[in-house]
Structure 1
Amino acid sequence: MKSRPNVKEYHGASLLSYFHTKSAKDKPTLASPTFSNPNGTAVIGATLTHRPAHQVSRATSIIPSKTHCPFYKWIPGTRLTVDAFNYGLIDGCDGYLLSHFHSDHYKGLSTSFTGTIFCSNVTKSLVSLTFGSHLKVVSLTLNSVINVCGVDVLAMDANHCPGSVMFLFRIPRTNQFILHTGDFRFNLSMLNPPSPLADFVPQGDSHRQLPSQLHSIYLDTTYCSSQYDFPTQEQIISAAIKVTRERLQKNSNTVVVCGMYTIGKERFVNGLAEELNLRVWLPVKQFKLINMAAKHGCPVCISLTKRTVSNPKRAQLHVMSMGQLNLPDLLRYQANLGPPSQVTPFSQPTNHCRSVPILAWRPTGWAHSGLKKKGNNNSIQTTLDLSTPLPVGLRLEHSSGNIRIYGAAYSEHSSSSELKQFVSQLRPLHVQQTVFGGAASGTKGQITEWLSAAR
C-alpha cells in the first residue's frame, strides 16, 4: 500500500476508557445484536470523527466466488471477514483479515487476489515472500487501534505461531466488542494488565459493574474436549530437554530430529537447541520463512536463526516435516546422514562406519490422545532402557534399531482447561466456535456449561 493508515498506540492505558471516551463523539445507536450475513444488514459507512479511517476500495478480479462464505467467517455488523480466502472475492466484504500464516487459514489466497488483506507485520512479510509483494496487504501494529471501514480493530499476540494475532473489534454503531482469537494458545498474560483484554475481566469484587462486556468471542475450539487437557508448553519443552539430554549423554553421536509445520513449532525447536547448545539445520522452505519472520521482529525466530547452519552435517538438531516422522522416512534419512563426521557439544570423532542414532520428536497436541488409551502399544510410558517413566505429556511412539520416535503433547492451540479459563473469565454474551468436528464436536454444550457456571 502506498499509504499507511493512522493508528493510535495502546501502551497499556485502559482500552475501554479510551473507547468509552470517544464513544460519546461517535454517538452510537444501541441495537440488538445480529449474526446474519452483512449483505442483509445495514453497512457501517461512517468513520470515527476524531481521526481518519482506512478506506478500502472495492476489489475487482477475474476470480469468481468459489462457494458461499459461512457466517462464522464474518464479523457481524461489518464488511470484514477473518481467514476467509477460500471463497474468492466475497460480495459485501471490503477487508480480509488474516490471523496467521497457516495454510488452512489462508487457503485460497493466490497471486491474483485483489482484495485488501489486514494482518501482522510478520504475517505480511510471509505473504509477500510466498505470493509476491504486489498484493494489497496492510500490516497491523500490535496493541494499536486502527479504523478499518468504520470499525475499530486492535490486533494482539495469539501465542500460536510467528505473526499470529487475535483481533478485537469495536462496532461504533452498537458499541459492541467482538473478539476473534484466530488460532491461539492461552496464557494468563492475555487477561492481565497491560493486555487489552484485562478490562473485560472482573478484578477484586467479582460483582462490580464492568465498564463494558464482550459481546462475542469467535473461539479456536480445536481442543475443546476434556481428553485434551495437556501440560503447558514450558512443561513439555522441559520434559523433552530432559529426555534428549539423557539420550545424548548415553550416545553422544545421536542426531535429534524435530518435526515442524511449514511455520510453527519454532519455540519447541529453539528450546531444545538453546538449552542443549545444539546447532540447527532447517530445510530450505522453513529456513526462508523463519529467516523472514526473524527479519520482521519475531523473537523466537531471531533466536533460532542464530543457531542455524547451512550444512546438515554440522548440526546435531535437524528439522523435518511432521509427515516424515515415520520409520521408513527416518531410515532413509539416516542412510543419507552416514556416520558422524563433526564434533558437537555431545559427540566425539569416530572411525566406526555405522549409522548415527536418531531421536525424533513429534510435537503436537494430538500426541496427548494416545496417553489415555488403554492397551495401546504406542502409549508405552518408559524409555525401554531406563527404569524411570517418561515425564507427563511424552510417549515413545516407535522404536526400531537405533531410531526412536517420541510424541510430545506440545500444542500451539489452547487445551480444554485453558479454554474454560479463558471463556469463564471473559464471560462473553455469545461464543461462536470456529473449529468443527473431531475433538470440537461437543463444543456447544461444553461452552454453555462454562458460561452458566461463570454467571
Structure 2
Amino acid sequence: MSKNIGVADALKCDRGGRALYKFDWKGNESPRAGRVQSVRLILSLLSAKMSNLRAQKRRAPSLRAKNESISSHSPRKNVEAVPFNMATKNKVWSRVWVREKCTYHKIVAGDLCVSRLGVNPKCIHVLTLDNTIRIEGDEVTAVDANHCPGAVMLIFALSIGKTVLHTGDFRANPAMESYPLFWNTDIHTIYLDTTYCNSRYDFPTQDQSLEMALSLLRQKKMALEKVGKKFSSVLIVCGTYTIGKEKFFLGMARRVGCSVWACPEKDKVLQAVEGRSFSHAPAQSCQLHVVPMRDLSIDKLKSYLESLHGTFTEVVAFKPSGWENGKNSTVEKDNVTIHGIPYSEHSSFSELVRFVNFLKPKQVVPTVGISGGIKAVQKYFPCPLVCKEEIGSQSKVTDYYSIQNRQQMSAVT
C-alpha cells in the first residue's frame, strides 16, 4: 500500500519561463485565487532544491490494496430484505503516540499530477508521508491533510529556528492531535485553510453527514415497501467534483450494499485513486451513479433517468457540500428528488478553532478570504490572524531559498 505523494519539479518542467502549477481544481467549493499561487510557489520551492537528492533511488509506488472494495462489475444486489448497515460507534480519539495506518481512501496508486495535469513523470519527485527531508539546511515534512486523495500539509522547519505549517486544503479532526510531529514541534506560523472560517459553518462530521443521507434512503425504502414497491427501482445519484467526495459515495455504497457506476470524467480520476475502473460494467447494473455536481438539476436528472430505458423508476440524488449547511434543502418534482447534505472535505469552523487552539501558534495567516473580515472571527482564536500583506510573507519564506531561473512571484499564501 503506497503512502507516497508526488511533487512536481515546476522549474524544470516549465516551458514558458513561468511557474508550471496553475491549478484550476474543479473540486474546489470556493474560489482559490490566493491558494493557487500558494501551492504553485511551495511546490516550486520544494522541487527547486531537491536536485541534490536525485541520486537517491526513487521509491516506486506500490500497487494499492483493494481493501473493502465495491466491485463495479457485480450485478445489482438484492437489498430489499435487509436494512442498511447501521453506523458503527464513533471512535474515541485520544492523544496516543502511535499513528494509525493510512486509510484506503487516502492511497493514490497512480499519480494524479501525471494523469490529470499532464506533468512529465520525469519531473516528479516522491515524498513519503511523515518522512522529513532536508533542503539546504531546512527540513520539510508532508503529513496527511484529511482532504481529497493525495492531499498533504507541509511543515517547514527553518534553519533560523521557526517552524511554519501550511495546511493547504484540509479538514482538521481530533486524530491530528496524535501526530507526533505536532507534539514535538512549536509552530510559529500556520497558513490556514479558512474556507469555512465563519461561525455559521459548524456542520456535522463526515460520518454524521453520511448517516444523514443513509437515513433518507432508509425512509425511502420503507415508504416504497408500504405500497408494495422495491427499493431496487430507485436510482441513487451522488454529485462529485473532479476529485473529492470519494469517502461519501463509496461509504454509501458499502452501507446500502450496491455497486457504483461513475461517468467517464470521474472514472479517470477513480482509476488513479482506487486503482480500478467504475465504468466497465453497464450503467443499468449499478444502483449508485456518480455524476458531476453541475448535473444535479431536476431536468438533467429526468433526462438521465430516461436514458437508462426503464431500469429505474425514480431518482434520489445527493449534493454533498459544506455550503449546504443549515439549508435543509430538498427539491422534489415528479420522480426526481435532490437532497443537499452538509458534507465537506474542508474544516468546519469549530474544527478550525480547535486545531489552532491545539497547536497554539504565534500567528495564523488565512489562505482564503474570510466572510466579514478577520475582525469578525479573531475573538475565537488564541493568536492573531494576520493578512499576508501585513507580514511580508515573501521575505518570511522565500528569502531562505536561492531560486534560480524563475521570475519573482508575489507573497506566498
Which bracket does the TM-score occupy, shorter chain normalised? 0.5 to 0.7
| Structure 2 contact 165–191 (Cα < 8 Å) conserved | yes
State the SS of the aligned residue for 2:115.
Answer: helix
Residue 365 (structure 1) aligned with residue 322 (structure 2):
yes
1:324 maps to 295
For residue 348 of structure 2, the aligned residue among 412, 415, 423 is 415
CA 1:290 to 1:71, structure 2 compared with 1: closer, same or farther past 3 Å? closer
Larger deviation, residues 285-294 vs 410-419: 285-294
Quote the Cα distance in structure 1 between the aligned partners of 2:287 and 2:11.
Answer: 51
Q: Which residue of 2 aligns with 1:63?
A: 16
TM-superposed CA distance for 1:291, in Å, is: 1.9
Partner of 2:255: 275
Contact 1:259 1:320 in 2 (8 A): yes
User: 1:237/1:309 Cα in 2 relative to 1: closer, same or farther (>3 Å)?
Assistant: farther
1:196 aligns with 2:176: no
Specify the SS of the correspondent of 1:359.
strand
1:428–1:310 Cα change, 3 Å: same
Distance 1:271 1:61, change over 3 A: closer
Correspondences of 1:81-100 after superposition (within 5 Å): 82-84=38-40, 94=48
Q: Which residue of 1 aligns with 2:266?
A: 286
**Which ranges of structure 2 fall in alignment gaps of 5 or more residues?**
23-31, 51-105, 225-229, 385-413
- Asked if 2 retains the 8 angstrom alpha-carbon contact of 1:171 and 1:177, the reply is yes
TM superposition shift of 1:190: 0.3
Q: Percent identity?
A: 32
Contact 1:279 1:308 in 2 (8 A): no
1:335 is aligned to 2:288: no
Displacement of 1:83 in angstroms is: 1.1
Contact 2:11 2:44 (C-alpha < 8 Å) held by counterparts: no
Contact between 1:94 and 1:149, CA under 8 Å: does it hold in 2? no
CA 218–150 in structure 1, closer or farther in 2 if over 3 Å, else same: same
User: Paired residue for 1:351?
Assistant: none
CA contact (8 A) 1:279 1:309 kept: no
Partner Cα separation in structure 2 for residue 92 and residue 255 of structure 1: 46
Q: What is the CA distance between 1:139 and its match in structure 2? A: 1.8
- Equivalent pair of 1:144/1:155 in contact (CA under 8 Å): yes
Task: Please provide the CA RMSD for this pair.
Answer: 3.5
Which secondary structure does the structure 1 equivalent of 2:344 belong to? coil
Q: Residue 239 of structure 1: CA displacement?
A: 1.6
Q: Verify the 8 A CA contact 2:10 2:44 in the aligned structure 1.
A: no
Q: Which one of 369, 377, 380 corresponds to residue 446 of structure 1? A: 377
Is the counterpart of residue 313 in structure 1 residue 284 in structure 2?
Answer: yes
Deviation at 1:358, TM superposition (A): 0.2
Aligned to 1:254: 234
Residue 48 of structure 2 aligns to which amino acid in structure 1? D
Would the alpha carbon gap of residues 195 and 189 (structure 1) be closer, same or farther in structure 2, given more than 3 Å must change?
farther
Query: What CA distance in whole angstroms lies between the structure 2 residues aligned with 1:92 and 1:218?
Result: 16
What letter corresponds to residue 280 of structure 1 in structure 2? V
Partner of 2:162: 176
Tell me, what secondary structure is at the counterpart of 1:422? helix
Give unmatched runs, 5+ long, in structure 1.
Answer: 1-8, 10-53, 75-80, 97-119, 201-212, 296-301, 341-354, 371-394
Question: In 2, Cα distance between the equivalents of 1:368 and 1:57?
Answer: 37
Out of 143, 160, 168, the residue aligned to residue 156 of structure 1 is: 143
Tell me if 1:356 matches 2:329. no
User: Deviation digits for residues 33-73 of structure 1, max 9, x if unmatched?
Assistant: xxxxxxxxxxxxxxxxxxxxx9x896474424489x99977
List per-residue Cα deviations over 1:142-197 (Å, max 9, x = no partner): 1111123442111111111111111111012x1211111111111111012x4422
TM-score normalised by structure 1 residue count = 0.60
| Residues 164 and 335 of structure 1, relative CA distance in 2, 3 Å threshold | same
Q: Decide which structure has the larger Cα Rg and report it.
A: 1
Q: Quote the offset at 1:445 in angstroms.
A: 4.6
Change (3 A) 1:240 1:444: same
Partner of 1:30: none
- The answer as to whether partners of 2:190 and 2:364 remain within 8 angstroms in 1 is yes
Residue 111 (structure 2) pairs with residue 125 (structure 1):
yes
* Alpha-carbon distance between aligned partners in 2 of 1:61 and 1:263, rounded to the nearest angstrom: 24
Is the Cα–Cα contact under 8 Å of residues 121 and 139 in structure 1 kept in the other structure? no
Query: CA 1:60–1:294 in 2, change beyond 3 Å: closer, same or farther?
Result: closer
Name the structure 2 match of 1:35.
Answer: none
For residues 123 and 139 of structure 1, the distance between their equivalents in structure 2, rounded to whole angstroms, comes to 13
Contact kept, 8 Å, 2:110 with 2:273, in 1: the verdict is no
User: Which of 253, 256, 265 is 2:245 aligned to?
Assistant: 265
Deviation string 1:245-301 (CA, Å, 9 cap, x unpaired) is 321342520000000111100000011100110111011222221121223xxxxxx
> Is residue 245–residue 276 contact of structure 1 (8 Å, CA) maintained in 2?
no
1:198 is displaced (CA, Å) by 2.9
Q: SS of the residue aligned with 2:148?
A: coil
| Separation in 2, partners of 1:329, 1:57 | 40
Code of the residue aligned with 2:176 in structure 1: it is: M
Return the TM-score normalized by structure 2: 0.66
Kept in 1, the 8 Å contact 2:266–2:291? The answer is: no
* Kept in 2: contact 1:396–1:404 (CA 8 A): no
Check conservation: 1:221, 1:443, Cα contact below 8 A: no
**Structure 2 Cα separation of the partners of residues 234 and 323 of structure 1:** 24
Q: Which has the higher contact order (CA 8 A, sep 6+)?
A: 2
| 1:219 and 2:192 are equivalent in the alignment | yes
Structure 1's 71 and 228: CA in aligned 2 closer, same or farther, altered over 3 A?
A: closer
2:152 counterpart of 1:165: yes
Q: Contact 2:330–2:338 at 8 Å: present in 1 too?
A: yes
1:234 lines up with 2:207 in the alignment: yes
Q: Is the 8 A contact 1:65 1:90 kept in 2?
A: no
